[in-house]
Structure 1
């Protein structure tokens, strides 16, 4: 899966569109400060269920945070759950 990224320094998202340009997966965030982003939404179309798309989106967001030396506040229930389950994400948790 090759995700696209949009960011206007107020909010951003990583997403996947299908061949027709229809959005089929996304994870979005809001900039709280220069060092903190808030992961506020994750969505995956039913056509991708069971393929690990939500985790791949989270991994891309975490990679982005690590590269930019950011911390993530998880307000999205999926991200919050994954932060509690997976200790490998503790370095980016705010």
Structure 2
């Protein structure tokens, strides 16, 4: 289920970064964090969604943003986070993006 007005931004800190999901009307933020492994691999290590925002598709939207960037920018993903790993298992067309 898509959340109307959900805004996802990417914050790159060189050796790592995070995707942030801001929900309209809430001061809570969902996050997907990653660490760089070389120039072409990102290790997705944590997906964090506050309890009051769970079940609204925020974690899925964060992973989708990471995958879209991987396709656009040419990096591959190590799905270390169990949620990201589960999304990869449910989306076999992402296999080429797995490091």
What's the TM-score, normalizing by structure 1?
A: 0.88
Partner of 1:4: 9
CA contact (8 A) 2:7 2:23 kept: no
Tell me if 1:91 matches 2:96: yes
Provide the C-alpha distance between the structure 2 equivalents of 1:50 and 1:20, rounded to a whole number of angstroms: 16
Partner of 1:54: 59
Gaps of 5+ in 2: 1-5
What's the TM-score, normalizing by structure 2?
A: 0.84
1:1-94 paired onto structure 2 within 5 Å: 1-17=6-22, 22-94=27-99
Aligned residues: 94
Provide the C-alpha distance between the structure 1 equivalents of 2:61 and 2:43, rounded to a whole number of angstroms: 18
Task: Map Cα deviations across residues 6-35 of structure 1 (whole Å, 9 max, x no partner).
Answer: 102100100124568844200011000111
Q: CA deviation at 1:92?
A: 1.0
Partner of 2:3: none
Gaps of 5+ in 1: none
After superposition, the CA RMSD in angstroms is 1.8
Provide the C-alpha distance between the structure 2 equivalents of 1:34 and 1:19, rounded to a whole number of angstroms: 34
